[in-house]
Amino acid sequence: MDSGLDGDLMTVFLDEAAEALVQAADRLLALDRGNDPGAVEDAFRPIHSVKGNCAFFGLMRAKALAHDTESVLDHLRQGRLLATGPLVTLLLEAVDALRTMLADVRAGRGEAPTAAAAEALRNRLREAAGDASVDGAGLLDAIRVAEEHWLHGGEARPALRQALETLIRHARATAGASTAAGPAGGLHPALETLRTWLGRALADTPDEAALAEAGTLLDRLAADCPGEAGVLAGMLRDGFRLTATATGFDDLLQGWLAEGVERLSALPGAAAAAPGPVAPQAPAAEPGRTMRVSEERIDTFLRLVGELLVVADMLGHIDRRVRRMPGAEGVARDLRRALDTFNTLSGQLQQAIMTVRKVPARPLLHKVPRLVRDLAAGCGRQITAEIAGEDTEIDKRLLDLLDAPLLHLVRNACDHGIESAERRAAAGKSVEGHVRVTLTTGAASVTLAVEDDGGGIDPERIRQAARRQGLIPAGSHPDDADAMQLIFSSGLSTAERVSDVSGRGVGLDAVKRDIEAVGGTVSVTSRRGEGTRFALTVPKQATTQIIGGYLVRAGGQLLVLPLERVRETFQAEPGALGSIPGGGRMIQRHGRMLPVLSLGERLGLACGTVRALVVVECRRRPFALEVESVVGVQKVVVRPLVGLPPSALVAGAALMGDGSAALIIAPDGLIDGAPHV
Amino acid sequence: MKASTSAQARVARSRSAANKYLTFVLGSEHYGLPILKVQEIIGILDITPVPRMPAHVRGVVNLRGKVIPVIDLRLRFGIEAQADTKRTCIVVVQIRPAAGADPVTLGMVVDVVSEVQDIPADQIEPAPAFGTTVDTAYILGVGKIAKRVVILLDIDRVLTSSEVVAAADAAPTASKP
């Protein structure tokens, strides 16, 4: 299979495509609400670029689907089709199918799983496109032919040129009208600039700044030029992107780009609504220049910064030793000062990298209106969605974490929360229900709230359901607040009917479990007849876990005990050890008998001579662990053991200065199943 | 035309990688892995044993700051263990424990790494069926090179079915010790 071969490029493309498709769906929704004339154009562009890239990566099924979607959008844009509700729904379905398909590709499943569904969609799209009048079909064909050839590169130059000629002739023919409509001039200076930048960008040693500038200019041209000139600029831009992402510049594409710019500047009609003259000498003035960095790289960076803290800890040890050295006061003072600076800087560095991990919550919240629209349609209710806080920046991990719970709560709100129109009318409420999702951040936490103005939760119904399902004893009568908490218990369902969406009694308990697993809380407040509010609060930081480690050697291995569990270390005096019938061993310490365990033996390692006993708290009781030696105290960064079955004995691994990995022992696991304890 | 640097050429290059296999030896047999699964090959190094794991789990190593499990492929295939030699290698692969799951990086100890072999699809035959006595589910096929046969492994299956690879989220994170 082809996909997955060109790994890096492919990943970048899939990321971009996922974003572009979300954007497209978003714009289609705007179109549905009928208040945004630019929506079709905005939806068209992302689909177009996804299509081009799909072809580049050999994802021909996705490309075909994108192509048909694009055709319908193009008809819409040209006014040959009307944006009816069903048509928008069809387009949304197509965008969803594309997303699923690309998600499958990303997951290594290829395009096949959704192929049949995609084919069916394509038929419907083609049918819809068939309703359009055929004006301008020649132009569309010309664009398509040009693209096909261009995408497959190689021998296509003559065909490409011919297609371009057609395209430009066509553009010229339609140009008159647009020139009349808008102010002339303005484009030519921009094009001159573009040519200069392209010249530099396409030189033998490409100039990064020039590449970026030329890309930006083409973006603006594509966005601002009316009609065909915009399409041409869009194609140029896409071509440019492809050449820019590939490692080198292909001669054909280079030539084509240069030629395209010539043509574009020769296009009189392109002048209308042109971007104003740009000042390439001041690229710094452009706000919010960003770059795409893989999450993995940032996490690596974060981990390395974590290691710095370990170094700071080691330096602290040295510092304390130096201070105790007679005659080294001057050095100690200097070291202290250097160390303070180092600590401050590494702290700042950690803060800075935490900021890098932050992303706007937009992708999370923007799914909500769409979901609500679909759910409302599904249950025949009128529900509007409102989101707030989408510009709030939160850790990327939280974005992923909150996704499933959010969707679940929104489903619940639409399906159970909002009443039917009749009931709402009878209760004197507006027929239209509201679901509001807000994201807010506090000092150390992020809160995601899902509110509805529905009927609220009736504690009595919960009590009844819980009793019926045996979740509470028959006689007991929990108060309203306690009863509300029961909705988070596994298996409880108050839904009178099981719908497509929810009511299967799985979910809220899962939401609670997921949120609590990361140290968060879930709360619910509800007023009968007025609505319900669920709030998920999770800690803000994705922390690299750093713990104080107590390093010992046992069974010939270097092992880390969590410092917070270590009480003391002492040497066993000969004869102090006693054993009880059945084999358990014990030792007297501070007038108390402590059970004795051999750490090495518990780990199944061959044990050497025991030189020390470390008193460690396991399940709140002290145990004396026999070790061969105590190495010292050190901060360690906890690395999970990914790819191994979970172990009760091992909490992870820590990297040692010599490059080895030392296991971090989970003390509680030591006594579980230990004999004679 | 600077075909070697063009995007098309990149794609073409990647496509050709589809027929390439890293071959290695375990006992008396030659095995092959699709080269695209292989992340790198490192010499044998100190492996930290992890208690109470299946016998073929040698332990974990620090691969440039990442702690990865190391599997002894001999033991996985029920071949008698042997002491590491100078030629013993760790082949680092990326596998997917399940469709949609996060990829997991792990190392496999092999006797000797031989070479990267081009095995065209028409030189690969499906593994013969042995009935229920021999599990062939993890064999992609049998490649024929000259007189030799190379057992091509579906490494995702080899390692997943060995119950070694738990889903990444099930791995023990340092739950408050």
Residues A125 and A144 in one domain: no
Is residue A286 in some structural domain? Answer: no
| Cα gap A185→A182, rounded to integer Å | 10
Q: Provide the pLDDT confidence category of residue A1 given band limits of 50, 70 and 90.
A: very low
Residues A395 and A529 in one domain: yes
Q: Greater confidence, A614 or A182?
A: A614
Residues A64 and A198 in one domain: no
The residue of A642, A655, A665 whose CB has the most chain B CBs within 10 angstroms, and thus the best one to mutate to test that interface, is A642
Q: Provide the pLDDT confidence category of residue A86 given band limits of 50, 70 and 90.
A: confident
Q: List the CATH number of the domain containing A567.
A: 2.40.50.180
Is residue A285 in some structural domain? Answer: no
Is residue A613 in some structural domain? Answer: yes
Contact residues on chain B for A644, CB-CB shorter than 8 A = 50, 53, 57, 60, 69, 164-166, 171
DSSP letters for A595-609: EEEEHHHHTT-----
Element at A635 (helix H, strand E): strand A629-637
- Which DSSP letter does residue A416 get? I
Restricting to B residues 87-146, those with a Cβ less than 8 Å away from any Cβ of A are 96-97, 99-100, 104-106
Number of neighbouring beta carbons within 10 Å of residue A621: 11
- Per-range mean pLDDT, top range of A456-460, A512-516, B95-99: A456-460
Residues A377 and A499 in one domain: yes
Q: Which of A120, A135, A150 is the endpoint of a domain?
A: A135
Residue of A252, A639, A667 with shortest CB distance to B177: A667
Is residue A269 in some structural domain? Answer: yes
Q: Which of B177, B175, B171 is nearest to A668 (CA)?
A: B177
Residues A396 and A379 in one domain: yes
Residue B121, token pair as written in the block = 């699809």
Closest-CA distance of chain A to residue B15, Å: 6
Is residue A39 in some structural domain? Answer: yes
Could you tell me the CA-to-CA distances from A95 to A17, A20, A91, A99 in Å, in that order? 11, 10, 6, 6
Q: Which of A339, A357, A375 is the endpoint of a domain?
A: A357
With an 8 Å Cβ cutoff, are B164 and A643 in contact? yes
| Cα gap B77→B108, rounded to integer Å | 12
The residue of A148, A641, A650 whose CB has the most chain B CBs within 10 angstroms, and thus the best one to mutate to test that interface, is A641
Answer yes or no: is pLDDT of A641 > 50. Answer: yes
Restricting to A residues 25-54, those with a Cβ less than 8 Å away from any Cβ of B are none
Residue A369, token pair as written in the block = 């209106």
Model pLDDT, residue A435: 93
Number of neighbouring beta carbons within 10 Å of residue B38: 19
Contact residues on chain A for B158, CB-CB shorter than 8 A = none
For A312-338, what is the mean pLDDT? Answer: 79
Answer yes or no: is pLDDT of A485 > 50. Answer: yes
Residues A238 and A338 in one domain: no
Amino acid at A466: A
Closest-CA distance of chain A to residue B132, Å: 27
Q: List the CATH number of the domain containing A104.
A: 1.20.120.160
Q: Which of A499, A492, A498, A503 is nearest to A468 (CA)?
A: A492
Is the CB of residue A516 less than 8 Å away from at least one CB of chain B?
A: no
| Cα gap A582→A675, rounded to integer Å | 9
Q: What share of chain B is helix, strand, coil (3-state, %, to 5)?
A: 20, 40, 40
Amino acid at A208: E
Model pLDDT, residue A513: 78
Q: Which of A404, A369, A414 is nearest to A388 (CA)?
A: A369
Q: Greater confidence, A470 or A505?
A: A470
Residue A151, token pair as written in the block = 């995408």
Answer yes or no: is pLDDT of A165 > 60. Answer: no
- Which DSSP letter does residue A545 get? P
Which segment of A166-170, A289-293, A529-533 scores lowest on mean pLDDT? A166-170
The residue of A104, A603, A618, A644 whose CB has the most chain B CBs within 10 angstroms, and thus the best one to mutate to test that interface, is A644
Residues A586 and A663 in one domain: yes
Amino acid at A52: G
With an 8 Å Cβ cutoff, are B60 and A557 in contact? no
Q: Which of A539, A562, A578 is the endpoint of a domain?
A: A539
Q: Which of A660, A168, A205 is nearest to B67 (CA)?
A: A660
Domain that holds residue A102: 1-135
Restricting to A residues 283-302, those with a Cβ less than 8 Å away from any Cβ of B are 300
| Cα gap A465→A324, rounded to integer Å | 69
| Cα gap A289→A285, rounded to integer Å | 10
| Cα gap A391→A410, rounded to integer Å | 20
Residues A111 and A192 in one domain: no
Closest-CA distance of chain B to residue A635, Å: 14
Q: Both ends of chain B: CA-CA distance in Å?
A: 62
Model pLDDT, residue A465: 80
For A530-537, what is the mean pLDDT? Answer: 90
For A82-102, what is the mean pLDDT? Answer: 84
Q: Provide the pLDDT confidence category of residue A273 given band limits of 50, 70 and 90.
A: very low
With an 8 Å Cβ cutoff, are A545 and B50 in contact? no
Helical packing angle, A7-33 and A367-379, nearest 10°: 50
For A128-153, what is the mean pLDDT? Answer: 50
> Contact A566/B177 with Cβ under 8 angstroms?
no
Percent of chain A surpassing pLDDT 70: 67
Residue of A251, A303, A644 with shortest CB distance to B2: A251
Residue of A640, A642, A666 with shortest CB distance to B177: A666
Domains present along chain B, CATH in parentheses? 16-165 (2.40.50.180)
pLDDT 10s digits, A192-216? 455 555 555 455 455 556 666 666 6
- Per-range mean pLDDT, top range of A493-497, A653-657, B157-161: A653-657
With an 8 Å Cβ cutoff, are B62 and A668 in contact? no
Contact residues on chain A for B49, CB-CB shorter than 8 A = 557, 605
> Contact A674/A603 with Cβ under 8 angstroms?
no
Q: Greater confidence, A276 or A536?
A: A536
Model pLDDT, residue A146: 47
Q: Residues near A479 by Cβ (< 8 Å), separated by ≥ 6?
A: none
Q: Residues near A570 by Cβ (< 8 Å), separated by ≥ 6?
A: A589, A612, A613, A615
Model pLDDT, residue B74: 92
Is residue A284 in some structural domain? Answer: no
Q: Greater confidence, B50 or A12?
A: B50
For A597-609, what is the mean pLDDT? Answer: 86
Amino acid at A491: G
Is the CB of residue B12 less than 8 Å away from at least one CB of chain A?
A: no
Model pLDDT, residue A677: 41
With an 8 Å Cβ cutoff, are A565 and B177 in contact? yes
Q: List the CATH number of the domain containing A452.
A: 3.30.565.10
- ipTM for the predicted complex comes to 0.76
For A394-406, what is the mean pLDDT? Answer: 85
Q: Residues near A539 by Cβ (< 8 Å), separated by ≥ 6?
A: A444, A445, A446, A518, A519, A520
Nearest CA in chain A to B165: A643
Residue of B2, B49, B100 with shortest CB distance to A250: B2
| Cα gap A635→A310, rounded to integer Å | 5
> Contact A649/B52 with Cβ under 8 angstroms?
yes
- Per-range mean pLDDT, top range of A151-155, A179-183, A274-278: A151-155
> Contact A628/A613 with Cβ under 8 angstroms?
no
Answer yes or no: is pLDDT of A372 > 80. Answer: yes
Is residue A375 in some structural domain? Answer: yes
- Which DSSP letter does residue B170 get? G
What is the per-residue burial (b if ≥16 Cβ within 10 Å, else e) of A186-221?
bbeebbebbbebbebbbeeeeeeebbbbbbbbbbbb
| Cα gap A480→A462, rounded to integer Å | 9
The structural domain count of chain A equals 5
Query: Strand, helix or coil at A533?
Result: strand
Residues A382 and A505 in one domain: yes
The residue of B5, B37, B64, B67 whose CB has the most chain A CBs within 10 angstroms, and thus the best one to mutate to test that interface, is B67
- Per-range mean pLDDT, top range of A135-144, A146-155, A604-613: A604-613
Answer yes or no: is pLDDT of A504 > 60. Answer: no
Residues A518 and A553 in one domain: no
Contacts A–B by Cβ distance under 8 A: 172
Contact residues on chain B for A641, CB-CB shorter than 8 A = 50, 60, 67, 69, 171-172
Model pLDDT, residue A229: 57
Closest-CA distance of chain B to residue A518, Å: 10
Is residue A303 in some structural domain? Answer: yes
Closest-CA distance of chain A to residue B112, Å: 24
Mean pLDDT (chain A, rounded): 73
| Cα gap A166→A136, rounded to integer Å | 12
Residues A349 and A397 in one domain: no
Residue of B6, B18, B48 with shortest CB distance to A248: B6
Return the beta strands (E) in A285-418 as ranges: 358-360, 383-388, 393-395
Is the CB of residue B147 less than 8 Å away from at least one CB of chain A?
A: no
Residues A525 and A554 in one domain: no
Answer yes or no: is pLDDT of A559 > 90. Answer: yes
| Cα gap A666→A105, rounded to integer Å | 39
